[in-house]
Structure 1
Amino acid sequence: MLQRSFLSYTKSRCFPLVLTSTIEVPGIDDICQISVVSPGKLWVGNNRTLKQVDSTGHVLRTLDDKYKYRNESGHTVSVEGDLVFIAEVLIRVEPTASDGRTSQYIYNIHKMTADGSITTLFTLDVPDLAPRCIHSSHINGDLLIGLIHYSVPPTCRVMRCEGTGRKILDIELDEEEQRLYRYPEYITENKINGDIVVSDEEKRALVVVGRSGRHRFDYRGHSTDESFHPRGVCTDILGRILVIHVEGNSKRSTVYLISLLDQEGRFLTKLLKERQELRCLCVDDKNNIYVGCNDKIKVFT
């Protein structure tokens, strides 16, 4: 019944999103990423702080700052409900020719279980390699990590690996040997067909590959969009793609939209259009949509 109802809604260009609640998150004034544990229980973060909250905004748990959570989109929740997150580790500070100082980091991938215990899954210790975003597959438990290598010029890729860190696949190039990514900012997986969907702000596109890494398509906005600057991305229970994007080039003209696409990247409808800044979103297994708006989460059905 839910699927039939949802399908009938998406045939119309006026999708009836209904705001059901607003969750205020104390201590986070610029929400960058939301991960659902269960309906009404969320992990919420910016690039400094990570908190678990309930549907009223009550803080259930705060990640200890000793783990140095510093990624805007550096956490995800596994199919078992465990938090998986990226933590920055400073290994040395070196002087530069300009009398400045440069810091060298490695990155740990940690897991927190429901009882709050934290273990290190593996470490990314390749020089000048930094993870930007992460997603835990709800199909097979693999981790999908968007990486940037600070070479000259910088290069980006997506790594699929097991929970132990054993690499399964690097995704970098399309069939014409062209680089797929410029800056992978958000990443998700389509639970229906296994596609890997990356929001790439520098490329101004959603980059979609199959589970084997083969390039399927880039989505660069609808013909009615004045411009397309993608932000948070997720998929719903039917495998449709939801993406936040920014339109306009000044504070007065800027609007924030959520577009709905089918699995092939075809535009279906605009779900939301607001002046208030939207950054990230996710969908739970009841098809509730959680949207990060500065220090609040708006919940839609």
Structure 2
Amino acid sequence: MHPRRSAQEVLLCNLCGTVPLESRCEVYNINLCKACVGEHFSDSSKQHYVMPYLQRKSTPNYPKCPKHANELCKHHCEKCGIPVCITCISSGKHKGHKISEFLEKLSSKTQSLHKDLEELETRIYPRYEEMASDVQTEKAEIETNYGKLTTFAEQRGEILHREITAILNQRKSAIQEMKNKHLSTLNKNTEEITQKMAELKQIISDLKSILKSNDVSLTSTYKSRNSEFRTLPPKVRATLPSFTPQKINKDQLNEMFGCLSPLSINTQHGDTMKSAEAVSSPPVKPLLDDPCLTAAIDTGYCNLFSVSCLSEDQVWARGENKTMKLLNPQSKLLTSIQTKSGNYPTDIAVTRDGYLVYTDYSNNTVNLIKNKKIRTVITLQGWRPLYVCCTAGNDLLVTMDSYDGEQSKVVRYSGSTEKQSIQFDDQGRPLYSSGGYISENRNLDICVADCVASAVVVVNQSGKLRFRYTGHPSNTWQSFNPFGITTDSQSHILTAEFNNDCIHILDQDGQFLRYIHCDLHAPWGLCVDIRDNLFVAECVTAKVKKIQYL
């Protein structure tokens, strides 16, 4: 008896029938002894899959052959892509084709199934559970979050109501004060008239007595006072105050109440876990309480207007002449380029490829400098280009005024092709009073410093007005005049206020965050580099100041 099956019937080799089995060919379902394994493999025209008997698999459920009754398809023709049985192979129809065994692939397929199962159980399904849980949590928080928004709106309404009530009380107090003054004047006038009337009554009574009397002395001593009373007392004439209500501007009222940013719902389709994990927000960089000056670049201009970063250590500058300069933080001139026309450049910007772009107001062109060669990419008709910026998609945004100066707009270009024109709001009113410095924010909003309108005008990517920022409410003594404008990785909007020697920092929804002073003098143009260092072009000193504020 077989030593490992002492209590069982001995299983013998199916070929020789005399020796106990050791192995099994899974392809042909044959049990083999050690000696017969070699003989079984001697038929090289057929494929085999032999394994130790104790490691054999349970009998697989093979599909039945559709062409040969009672035959099982235990093979697969790779060329034809169909299951085949032994008879199909022997018939010669698949001669020369690669024939694989189902069981040969079973092991690797099983490993693949285990991997799939492990990934589904340990990585994918838990992520779905996590997402479902997050959605439920978000749904649970909706009432709270939207309730807060409603509360904020109600609080804002109460504040405005209190302000209106305070104004109403002021007006009522002023009306009462004027009324009292008017009455007091009339009372004083009445007293004067009454006094005169009393005197007149006495004189009339005296005259009547004299006339009735025969006393010659009274008649002879009488002195007339009629001339005194012919001049009547002064008559009070007052112009009553009137109340002239101003027309309520709903747009201004809406802006005064506060802006509600639009609901933004982004649904990402087809993202794999890897790509979803790879998507990340920029690292949060809080604002410094005390921004610090890290460099001051002397440009050598008489007046400086624009600055644009080529890198952390190289900035382009343009001033009040035809030469544009590339400088480093040590004020070293690295290169200089003169405009093609010999006119002053109106503005400069650096493209995503590192090329310089400048606008020429005098000849209505936008020009690209590549390898020190200048190529005019845009020529305008009826409009004059002013300021320019390069977008994340490598388009150009150009602000411009009409020849007569009556109209302003923003135009997006891809190369020389106009893709978009932004000029009016939903009610057909002009968005801009003049073409100003321009910048695209990280959320693709388009931000323009409209100095003439004393506002920063922000529209979304489609050109729809989002908000206008007209300065911090605390500044009541001087008008807000924004000049340069730029944005950073945190979607902050930074704008230079020339008159007040400071930079305003706003969030992407136009809420004022804080000022940057840093001993600035007449700040004009702005830009930030890839590390969010701020570069400020001071107009009068002609210096570019590098400031760390994050």
* 1:116 alignment partner in structure 2: 372
| Higher mean displacement: 291-300 or 229-238 | 291-300
Post-superposition shift, 1:65? 4.4
Q: Deviations over 1:55-86 (max 9, x none)?
A: 211112222244334244x2110011110112
Contact 1:50 1:69 in 2 (8 A): no
Post-superposition shift, 1:150? 2.5
Post-superposition shift, 1:31? 1.1
**Larger-gyration structure (1/2):** 2
* 1:195 alignment partner in structure 2: 445
| 2:427 maps to 1:176 | yes
Equivalent position SS for 2:472: coil
* 2:482 alignment partner in structure 1: 230
The alignment-based identity, stated in percent, is 28
Question: Which residue, out of 201, 208, 216, partners 2:466?
Answer: 216
Post-superposition shift, 1:300? 1.1
Question: Which residue, out of 437, 444, 448, partners 1:186?
Answer: 437
| 2:404 maps to 1:159 | no
* 1:35 alignment partner in structure 2: 308
Equivalent position SS for 1:184: coil
Equivalent position SS for 2:363: strand
Post-superposition shift, 1:47? 4.0
Instruction: Name the Cα RMSD after superposition.
Output: 2.0
Contact 1:71 1:132 in 2 (8 A): no
| 2:402 maps to 1:149 | yes
Equivalent position SS for 2:431: coil
| 2:393 maps to 1:140 | yes
User: TM-score, normalising length from structure 2?
Assistant: 0.46
| 2:530 maps to 1:256 | no
In the aligned structure 1, how far is the partner of 2:520 from the partner of 2:355?
34
* Structure 1 residues not aligned, in runs of 5+: 89-104, 248-254
Contact 2:339 2:345 in 1 (8 A): no
Contact 2:292 2:518 in 1 (8 A): no
Structure with the bigger RCO (C-alpha within 8 Å, sep 6+) is: 1
Question: Which residue, out of 283, 290, 294, partners 2:535?
Answer: 290
| Higher mean displacement: 42-51 or 260-269 | 42-51
Equivalent position SS for 1:224: coil
* Structure 2 residues not aligned, in runs of 5+: 1-280
Structure number with the higher helix fraction is: 2
In the aligned structure 2, how far is the partner of 1:274 from the partner of 1:300?
11
Equivalent position SS for 2:537: strand
Post-superposition shift, 1:274? 4.1
In the aligned structure 2, how far is the partner of 1:143 from the partner of 1:65?
19
Question: Which residue, out of 338, 341, 351, partners 1:67?
Answer: 341
When residues 180 and 79 of structure 1 are mapped into structure 2, their CA distance, relative to the original with a 3 A threshold, is: same
User: TM-score, normalising length from structure 1?
Assistant: 0.82
In the aligned structure 1, how far is the partner of 2:402 from the partner of 2:282?
43
The code of the aligned residue for 2:403 comes to Y
Question: Which residue, out of 237, 245, 258, partners 2:497?
Answer: 245
Post-superposition shift, 1:2? 8.6
Q: Deviations over 1:149-168 (max 9, x none)?
A: 023x611111111112x111
| 2:514 maps to 1:269 | yes
